[in-house]
């Protein structure tokens, strides 16, 4: 949570709302701390293990929902 321009507390259960096309245009900074983790990709034919990851990003505008 950012209040009065300062980070105050972490949020849990937030939903980021928007389309990738719109959010990609709102990214203004990207860090160099790429972190990777195991994951999987699934479809009707089955699941395969993959590696997923992303560095921290600064997104200038995004809609946040949830409780």
Question: What is residue 36's predicted lDDT score, i.e. its pLDDT?
Answer: 95
Domain containing 45 equals 2-66
Dist CA 48 CA 39 (whole Å): 9
- pTM of the model as a whole: 0.60
Dist CA 23 CA 41 (whole Å): 23
- The label of the residue with tokens 């994951």 reads 39
Dist CA 16 CA 67 (whole Å): 12
Q: How many folded domains does the chain comprise?
A: 1
Question: Is residue 67 scored above 70 in pLDDT?
Answer: no
């Amino acid at each position: 949570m950012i209040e009065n321009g300062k980070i105050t507390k972490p949020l849990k259960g937030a939903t980021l709302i928007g389309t990738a096309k719109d959010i990609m245009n709102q990214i203004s900074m990207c860090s160099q701390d790429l972190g990777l983790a195991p994951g999987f990709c699934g479809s009707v034919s089955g699941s395969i293990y993959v590696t997923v990851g992303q560095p921290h990003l600064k997104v200038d505008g995004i809609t946040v929902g949830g409780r």
